[in-house]
Structure 1
Amino acid sequence: MHGASVSSSVPPAAALGRRVIFLLALTCGVAVGNIYFPQAVSPLVASGLDVSPDSAALVVTAAQFGYAAGNFLLVPLGDRLPHRPLIVVMLGVTGAGLLGAAGAPALPGLIGASALVGVTTVIAQVIAPMAAGLVPDDRRGAVMGTLLAGSIGGILLARTFGGLAGEWLGWRAPYLIAAVVALSIAVALAFVLPATVPPSRQPYPALLAAPLRLLRQEPELRRSCFYQATVFGGFQAVWTGVALLLTGPVYGLGAQAVGVLALVSAGTMVAMPVAGRQVDRRGSDPVSLVAILGTLASAGVLAFGTLGGAAGLVALGAGTLLLDVAMQSGMIANQARIFALRPDARSRINTAYMTCAFLGGSTGSWLGATAYTRSGWTGLCALVAFLAVLALARHLLHRRTTAAARTGGQAEPVDDPPLRAPRRP
């Protein structure tokens, strides 16, 4: 099995200590944060480079598309190349891209640098499979939880960091600070990461083809990808548009307001363990349904953001928190579903899943900026509701197909039962 081969290829001396695990969690947070802090900086970019707000939002879209491309092009290399040089080089290129963004004289250069950063900052998706093979089975869950907490912390703090640093020091400052942090972590990991032996000798083209083949072969993977692409698309649309709303005439606030609003989503960290236990107890599909309905409900709550003033801010806070909890809960349900499909190919399945998710997210970011420019905040909320309805329709179609298969005596997809760890021999 793939997971077994990873573990067996790692010498006993390569175990991860707590300090290294903490550094890896920090790395995950910093890497993921590079995708999210530009959302808070976007209005400052528009004024600093004298471009329209929807044109400045292309910086966010470029980073999202780059992240989707990086998931497809680079993450599979974790099965082919030693992890230490791969991670260090990716961090180094990310730092260089951030420096390029900080010094970009015009919008096209900034968009290009953002795309490069997006491609190489997929480091968290390389670290997770590596760490899973470097720790004993009885520590794997705790380590994965620590790494996920680091990623969530990066998502939560990135917009706050971007908004505050950009407001105080200018829009270039967050990029410069992020570059210094990325390069510093690269140097540290070059010394502390243990050496690993790649678990696969497959050529690079075969690694690239595997996620596409899995998408073609696994209907449950395609369904999970569709759920996350639509929900994450709505999530990204909101966070692209809310920066324009808060800094626009309705509220007239600074970019730091976006960062403060993002802190409301810290409640997600409390809700995630609950969602995970519900997946274990009830299965993935019920949690997926709740996540989709939560996304639809959040669109209704967020629509009251047009009220302005304190009431509007309360609606925005409640709506973004509900949307964040729904999106992250759906992520847990979807990954639990897909990781049960092919234990021997989890990295490549995750590559397919994350690529589709971020293609949906980057498209949602672009659609959100377009909807806000043409139809205002109400139009953006309608977009989020429409994406949630698409996911809901797909879910109801699956339930109808499953019911028809059950009554017809056909084989039923093994998805709904609660997930349990496989028995050990």
Structure 2
Amino acid sequence: MVLILALTCAVGVGNVYFPQAIVPLVAAGLHTSPDAAALVVTATQVGYTAGIFLLVPLGDRLPYRPLLVTLLALAGVGLLSAGCAPALPALVAASAFIGVTTVAAQLVAPLAAGLVAADRRGAVLGILLSGSTGGMLLARTVGGTLGAWLGWRAPYLVAAALVLILAAVLACTLPVTAPPARRPCPVLLAGPLHLLRTESELRRSCWYQATVFAGFSAVWTCLTLLLTGPVYGLGAPAAGMVALTGAATMLCTPVAGRLVDRRGPDPVNLVCMLGVLLAAAVLVPGAGGGPVGLTALVLGTLLLDVAMQAGMVANQVRFLALRPDARGSLNTAYMTCAYLGGSAGSWLGVRAYGLAGWRGVCGLLALLATLALARHLRGPSRREPCSDGARATGPDTITRG
């Protein structure tokens, strides 16, 4: 079951990322400019953000099996529509629909947290995060290869087949979970903001991820500028080759999850923040170019990837234990903060690169890691009393059927 859920994460996340690899093919196939074709990527990402905010909290109201199966089926329909789109406007509309409905990975984590005992939660979440990482990395490569061989429609049609098969598999194998609460939809939509206001440990986890992910986004946004600039003079695919080193995180996150189960989230977070600081120092020689600089970039980005992903496992274990009746809303709040941090980091990174070059980006990364570390050294805040019900500590009730 864990492997099936990890595959669900991989496919769900992959649907967001493979369009990035086929924008030139879409432009050529639909006889439009690359800038216009890039709207497909933007529409998918905007839809994905909207889906996280609007649909993930439904996991606190509806049983997960029908919710996941329905969303996967709808995503499959959207992918089929995109693969058959006659013109760019239809493709952009289908892409937005795909983004909204392909939020399975954000529902799987709260589901899995309720199906396993607390002492195995970190290991399972680490495996699921490995699936998401694999989907993100492979989607661009596989999508681009299929598009080059068979045309831009092929990745959409293949993804549609995978999603629909996965929906059928989950419909037969996923255990039926009892919904933890029957809250009205307006209450569910307000739930993430309410939890951010009342749960100090959620705010702490969000701060850690927002700051670290901001540094991560700054580095990866500016890496292409560095590699394609005068220092290295490489093509854009060079950044993609460096990104493939991130596949090592697929092996590291399950290990981090087991460490969280044994030691708790805080020690793992501390090591990860120190790892980000070390990554900032390792990346500095990358500004000099040459084999030494390229080696520094590979090692530094690998260390940064591992630290960021391992820290995410620790954060998820911490906040998903807070309110078993509101895990969907907790994950919505966390992921929204993470994406806001990543967007801010990309913006800041470009400006740091313009002002101080690659060393400025490394300094920004170190500053953001220091902000996270400073909050961590303060220790956990006193937990506010919860007025919405007692906190459960064991797995959620499930029925087989």
Band the TM-score falls in, shorter-chain normalisation? 0.7 to 0.9
> 2:339 & 2:167 partners in 1: Cα distance?
25
Runs of 5+ unmatched residues, structure 2? 385-391, 396-401
Percent identity of equivalent pairs: 63
User: Is 1:92 matched with 2:96?
Assistant: no
Residue 345 (structure 1) aligns with: 326
Checking the alignment, whether the CA contact within 8 Å between 2:131 and 2:250 is kept in structure 1 is no
1:142-291 aligned within 5 A: 144=125, 146-162=127-143, 164-165=145-146, 174-193=155-174, 195-243=176-224, 245-246=226-227, 250-253=232-235, 255=237, 257-291=238-272
How many residue pairs get aligned? The number is: 384
C-alpha change, 1:216 and 1:100, in structure 2 (3 Å) is same
Checking the alignment, whether the CA contact within 8 Å between 2:52 and 2:103 is kept in structure 1 is yes
Checking the alignment, whether the CA contact within 8 Å between 2:114 and 2:324 is kept in structure 1 is no
> 2:351 & 2:8 partners in 1: Cα distance?
33
SS of the residue 1:200 aligns to: coil
1:406-425 aligned within 5 A: none
Equivalent position amino acid for 2:189 in 1: L
Between stretches 297-306 and 28-37, larger displacement belongs to 297-306
Displacement of 1:264 after TM fit? 1.4
> 2:96 & 2:200 partners in 1: Cα distance?
30
Equivalent position amino acid for 2:3 in 1: F
C-alpha change, 1:169 and 1:211, in structure 2 (3 Å) is same
> 1:242 & 1:41 partners in 2: Cα distance?
21
Displacement of 1:109 after TM fit? 7.4
> 2:185 & 2:280 partners in 1: Cα distance?
42
Checking the alignment, whether the CA contact within 8 Å between 1:295 and 1:388 is kept in structure 2 is yes
C-alpha change, 1:365 and 1:281, in structure 2 (3 Å) is same
Q: Deviations over 1:264-299 (max 9, x none)?
A: 123223433443354345543333233223223323
Runs of 5+ unmatched residues, structure 1? 1-17, 403-410, 415-420
1:36-51 aligned within 5 A: 36-38=17-19, 50-51=33-34
Equivalent position amino acid for 1:275 in 2: A
Equivalent position amino acid for 2:234 in 1: G
User: Is 1:321 matched with 2:293?
Assistant: no
> Could you tell me the TM-score, scaled by structure 2's length?
0.75
Residue 3 (structure 2) aligns with: 22
Displacement of 1:216 after TM fit? 0.5
C-alpha change, 1:128 and 1:360, in structure 2 (3 Å) is same
1:122-161 aligned within 5 A: 122-131=103-112, 144=125, 146-161=127-142
> Could you tell me the TM-score, scaled by structure 1's length?
0.72
C-alpha change, 1:198 and 1:281, in structure 2 (3 Å) is closer
Q: Deviations over 1:219-262 (max 9, x none)?
A: 2211210110121222234334445555666343353x444333
Residue 388 (structure 2) aligns with: none
Tell me how large the CA RMSD over aligned residues is. 4.2
C-alpha change, 1:229 and 1:44, in structure 2 (3 Å) is farther
Residue 398 (structure 2) aligns with: none
Checking the alignment, whether the CA contact within 8 Å between 1:39 and 1:239 is kept in structure 2 is no
Residue 418 (structure 1) aligns with: none
> 2:308 & 2:187 partners in 1: Cα distance?
32
> 1:26 & 1:143 partners in 2: Cα distance?
13
Checking the alignment, whether the CA contact within 8 Å between 2:126 and 2:253 is kept in structure 1 is no
Between stretches 140-149 and 332-341, larger displacement belongs to 140-149
Checking the alignment, whether the CA contact within 8 Å between 2:122 and 2:261 is kept in structure 1 is no
> 1:130 & 1:283 partners in 2: Cα distance?
21
> 1:314 & 1:163 partners in 2: Cα distance?
26
Q: Deviations over 1:174-208 (max 9, x none)?
A: 45543443244334444554555533222111222
Q: Deviations over 1:278-324 (max 9, x none)?
A: 43455433332332232233234334444445434322221221111
Between stretches 325-334 and 237-246, larger displacement belongs to 237-246
Residue 10 (structure 1) aligns with: none
C-alpha change, 1:279 and 1:196, in structure 2 (3 Å) is closer
SS of the residue 2:62 aligns to: coil
Displacement of 1:142 after TM fit? 6.6
> 1:298 & 1:38 partners in 2: Cα distance?
30
C-alpha change, 1:387 and 1:136, in structure 2 (3 Å) is closer
Residue 337 (structure 2) aligns with: 356
Checking the alignment, whether the CA contact within 8 Å between 1:160 and 1:258 is kept in structure 2 is no
Residue 391 (structure 1) aligns with: 372
